[in-house]
A and B are shown apart, each in its own frame.
Chain A
Amino acid sequence: MLTYILRKILLGIPVLLGVTVVVFAIASAMPGDAVMAMITAEAPSSEELIAMRRGQLGLDQPIWVQYSTWLWQVLQGNLGRSFITGRPVADMIFERVPYTLELMGVALLVSFALGTALGVVSALRQYHTTDYVLTVAGFAGVAIPDFFLGMLLVYVFSLELRWLPSSGMGTAGDAFSLVDNLRHLVLPAAALALFRTAIFMRYARSSMLEVLTQDYMRTARAKGLSRITIVLRHGLRNALIPLVTVFGLTTPTLFGGSVVVETIFQWPGIGLLFINAVIDRDSPVIMGYVLITALIVMISNILTDLAYGALDPRVSYD
């Protein structure tokens, strides 16, 4: 088991490196750089100013020198400083992580629980009206873009009904209150959850259907066990195995955040930080975000494999 994990980590390192090289190349190929992004028509800068700022930020070096400088910093545990604000990138990212975790975590958990439940119901009621209704709803959920849903939810619940706030993660300037925070969380989490609920529902339904045809289900029924026990303990437990894989593959989004939903709802998460960094050509922040996301993908893949092994006794690693 340990050798398996170690091997995965060792194999992951060149992949991480490759990802950083590719992203750095793409980011550097974008027209303009951080200094260009800072110039505005109202406050034009002279060429000497531009050249000096470039020199200060190291942007006048060849690309491979810039990359090596960044990599060397990272290997020493330093993610560098933002070109725009000068603050340490690590600080900027990690202070946003709790907000992103809150939004994505709630959306993911709700969608997993709801999606699984609805998928199981749909499977148990196969070919009945419930199944058809849920299937159609599932397709709709997958098809509706989350930004459209977000705007629709704001229109209905904020503007028309005035039940919920339209943006932010809490009333600005007021001391933190859980109720206030939750009120602000409802709409963005709902916008994110619909799509994911539909996905989980489809997987849960097909997985459950497959399990229901297995011999051991017939054995359980023959043993005279109650319906609940059959469905939950024998059916769902096994149906969950592929679902865990799907869930594990979506956990990186917990940290990546959702740029679109965060923009609409002005949720101060990592997604918003990232999109602002791209527009500002803030390379250290872009690279820090990409590196951390890639690292999380790698770790969550390993954890998913381990969980899979734990759930399915037929699987073992060596």
Chain B
Amino acid sequence: MKRELMAAVSMAAVVVMASPSSAQQSGTFRSAMRTGCVEQGTLHTTCGHRLDETVLQGLVHIKWTGEGVQPMLAESWATPDGGKTFTFKLRSGVKWHDGTPFTAKDVVFSLNLYANPKVASPWGVKLSSVAGYDDFKSGAASELRGVKAIGDDTVRIELSTAQPAWVELQLIAISIVPEHILGKVPPQDIVGNKFWINRVGTGPFIWKEYQSDRFIEVVRNQSYFLGAPKLDRIVYQIYKDVPSIVTALETQEVDAMSYEGGGIPVSELSRLQKLQHLTVLPKFNAGLPTYLQFNLADARFADARVRQAMLYAIDRSAIIETIKGGAGELSNTLFPQAWARPESGMESYAYDPEKARRLLKEAGWSSTKPIDFIYYYSDQMNVDTITAVQSYLAAVGIEIKPRLLDPAAINQVYADGKFEMGFFAQGMGLDPSLGEPLVKCNAKPLSLGYCNPEVDALFAKGMSSADRKERAAAYRAAAVVLNREVPKGWLFNEVRPLAFNNRVEGLPQHFKEQPLVIFNHAVYNEVEKWTIKK
């Protein structure tokens, strides 16, 4: 009896362990995704926009090279008046995944949905240049005056002021949703609507199944307008924390790293680089400047010399070499894009604790109570960085008390006006204009008392042209001012190490050509051409 039992148990064990992992099934690309990106819907999330590369789509998507846009639902567009009016010719013959034809009505509906104050979408601000946006927002109008359908296949959009780069900078954030489905939903019920867990789009892949905290499965759309995808399906696997994703990359349970959440920890990089099946990109530019955040309304931080002193007090090069394993670069101003920074003429804030003490003395710094120092990133590298910062500042007589808080609590601190100092980052790799909320006069909650009309004017100038050279001139001038006035304590431009499985042909190749992480926007990376290597 005992022997039979033992035999049965061992046989069961062998069966359980010996079954081949079906993660090797050909035709399936598995992509890691963090939790909390799906259920609220595209109009109310940030990380969920990767689903808008495959299921829903926009009129245009930013290209994976970071330069230029790919026409998607818009076949072409023209702006004869230099960026005040755009006429979009929509792609013909496109059908939603449920067979309904896609028309201009869907575009008008979608733009109005984003801007609708009752929908309360934080992305609506991308349409703030559209004529009639302020009236719509205040309730004086019931729709966007500047968006009109002309027939079934043309949409005309009028802006309140000319912005030649509006399509490349703002429209890329907008996804087109089906009017025939969401048109029936009251605006305040759009967020978290059941549509978002069973989406109908126009993209290369059709939503098949969603299981909460597990995965989203999307399958090939045979009638996709850029050609039927070669992949059978994509499975977005949902993970709560980064170490599980890194493990899954190693065991080949997942093919692509998610870039939310910090990328591959520095300590894991050398181990992953030894693996044959992975392409590791250890210095992938995250387009993420990290900085010390100051509340300039607090008398202690109002004097620029105090803020400058803190930068001189911290040996940022040493932190990069030791804690960050050589990854990342020093940042001395807001913009991570090299083209938005001047070649020279900026203070480098090289480590000089003597100078720091001198500046503090000049500014009349007196050690009062410790500073309440808030931070959000809890991974080991950033925690170590903050510990180092604390120690460097203490050496010149500044005492900070670091406190880890989650997003809800942090936003509450801002709202209560109790914010003193902290360690933060801003995902703005796509374009320097994305840094504006950090330094614009009266921009809540992030400009925290900094106001320089010259900087505001330079940002406006940067948006008034589509020419890279003209824009660069404006941002470079702003970079110099921000470098001198230090409204934030510029620390580093971060990297986000990523890894991709070589068996997905097209995946590592496109990411190698991508210059930086493009957060929160749908990116066109030719996913319909990717295949699985046999």
Q: Interface of A with B (CB < 8 Å)?
A: 30-34, 36-50, 52-53, 56, 82, 84-87, 92, 95-96, 151, 154, 158-159, 162-169, 171-174, 177, 179-180, 182-183, 186, 263-266, 268, 272-273, 276, 279-281
**B interface bracket (residues with beta carbon within 8 Å of A):** 35 or more
Assess whether B519 is interfacial by the CB under 8 Å rule. Answer: yes
With a cutoff of 8 Å between Cβ atoms, the chain A residues found around residue B238 in the complex are 266
Q: Does B258 touch A at the CB level, under 8 Å?
A: no
Q: What residues of A have a CB within 8 angstroms of the CB of B412 in the complex? A: 31-33, 36
- State the B residues within 8 Å of A (CB): 15-17, 19, 21-23, 25, 28, 30, 35-36, 39-40, 44, 46, 117-118, 120, 122-123, 125, 188-189, 191-194, 209, 211-215, 217, 233, 235, 237-241, 243-244, 247-248, 250-251, 253, 405-413, 415, 424-427, 434, 437, 443-446, 519-520
Closest to A48 in B: B117
Contact B117 A86 (CB under 8 A): no
Q: Which of B39, B253, B405 meets A165, CB within 8 Å?
A: B253
User: A173 contacts which of B28, B122, B239, B437 (Cβ < 8 Å)?
Assistant: B28
**Interface pair A154/B46, CB less than 8 Å apart:** no
CB distance from A56 to the nearest CB of B (A): 6
| Contact assessment for A168 and B212 in the assembled complex, using a CB-CB cutoff below 8 Å | no
> In the bound complex, what is the Cα–Cα distance between A16 and B122 (angstroms)?
39
**B244 and A268: CB pair below 8 A?**
no
Give B24's nearest chain A residue, CB to CB: A171
Please name all residues of chain B whose beta carbon is closer than 8 Å to the beta carbon of A42 when the two chains form the complex: 46, 426-427, 434, 519-520
Distance between Cα atoms of A273 and B237 in the complex (Å): 16
Chain B nearest CB, measured from A17 CB (Å): 27
Q: B253 touches which one: A32, A82, A92, A166 (CB < 8 A)?
A: A166
Task: Output the least CB separation between A54 and chain B (Å).
Answer: 10
Known contacts A36-B408, A87-B39: A164-B250 contact under CB 8 Å: no
Interface pair B188/A56, CB less than 8 Å apart: yes
Residues in chain A near residue B22, CB distance under 8 A: 171, 174, 177, 180
Let me know if A31 and B15 touch, CB within 8 A: no
Query: CB distance B408 to A49 under 8 Å?
Result: no
Q: Contact at A40–B44, with CB atoms within 8 Å? A: no
Give the shortest distance, in Å, between B50 (CB) and chain A (any CB): 14
B192 near A86 with CB under 8 A, answer yes
Contact B408 A31 (CB under 8 A): yes
Please tell me which one of the listed residues A84, A168, A264 contacts residue B192 in the complex, with CB atoms under 8 A apart: A84
A97 to chain B, nearest CB (A): 13
Give the distance in Å from the alpha carbon of A273 to the alpha carbon of B209 in the complex: 19
A254 CB → nearest B CB, Å: 19
Contacts of B193 in A (CB 8 A): 86
Instruction: Give bound CA distance, A45 to B446, whole Å.
Output: 11
B411 in contact with A37 (CB, 8 Å):
yes
Indicate if the CB atoms of B237 and A32 lie closer than 8 Å. Answer: no
CB contacts (< 8 Å) of A38 on chain B: these are 40, 44
Closest residue of B by beta carbon distance from A169: B214
The verdict on A49 contacting B122 (CB below 8 Å), with A36-B411, A84-B40, A85-B40 known, is: yes
Contacts of A48 in B (CB 8 A): 117
Question: Nearest chain-B residue to A158 (Cβ)?
Answer: B251
Q: A41-B446, A171-B23 are in contact. Are A166 and B30 (CB under 8 A)?
A: no
Q: Are B19 and A162 in contact (CB under 8 A)?
A: no
Closest to B239 in A: A266
**B122 adjacent to A92 (CB under 8 Å):** no
- Given A41-B424, A82-B192, A166-B244, does the pair A172, B123 have CB atoms closer than 8 Å? no
Q: Closest CB of chain A to B95's CB: distance in Å? A: 25
Option from A31, A44, A173 in Cβ contact (under 8 Å) with B235: A173
| B473–chain A nearest beta-carbon distance, Å | 26
Chain A residues closer than 8 Å to B413, beta-carbon distance: 31
- The answer to whether A41 and B426 touch across the interface, beta carbons within 8 angstroms, is yes
6 smallest CB-CB distances across A and B, nearest first, come from A32-B408, A86-B192, A37-B408, A172-B215, A43-B122, A173-B235
- In the complex, are the beta carbons of A167 and B239 less than 8 A apart? yes
Tell me the complex Cα distance, A229–B239, Å.
51
Distance between Cα atoms of A74 and B443 in the complex (Å): 41
Q: Flag if A39 contacts B407 (CB, 8 Å).
A: yes
Nearest B residue to A33 via CB reads B408
B212–A182 contact, CB under 8 A?
A: no
Choose one: B120, B212, B253, B406; the contact of A95 (CB below 8 Å): B212
Q: List residues of chain A with CB within 8 A of the CB of B437.
A: 41, 44
15 contacts between A and B (CB under 8 A): A32-B412, A36-B407, A39-B411, A43-B123, A44-B445, A46-B125, A85-B39, A85-B192, A86-B192, A168-B237, A169-B214, A180-B19, A263-B241, A272-B240, A276-B213
Given A158-B251, A268-B212, answer yes or no on A172-B408 (Cβ-Cβ < 8 Å). no
- Other than A53-B120, A168-B237, A264-B241, give 19 A-B pairs with Cβ distance below 8 A: A30-B409, A37-B408, A41-B424, A44-B437, A52-B117, A84-B39, A84-B40, A85-B40, A87-B194, A95-B212, A151-B243, A167-B239, A171-B23, A173-B209, A266-B213, A266-B239, A266-B240, A276-B213, A279-B408
Contact A37 B235 (CB under 8 A): no
CA–CA, A46 and B214, complex, Å: 33
CB distance from A93 to the nearest CB of B (A): 11
How far apart are the CA atoms of A52 and B187 in the complex, in Å?
12
CA distance A126 to B120 in the complex (A): 69
